[in-house]
Structure 1
Amino acid sequence: ARERPDLVLLDVMMPVKSGFDVCHEVRSSETARDTTIVMLTAKGRDTDIAKGMALGADAYMTKPFSTRELVEKVSELLRGRA
Structure 2
Amino acid sequence: MEPRPFKAYSFVSFSPLAMLDPTILTIGIIVLGIAIIEGILERWGVIELGDQFAKVMRFILPVTFYSALIYFFGTFMF
**Greater fraction helix:** 2
With the length of structure 1 as denominator, give the TM-score of the two structures: 0.30
Larger Rg: 2
**Greater fraction strand:** 1
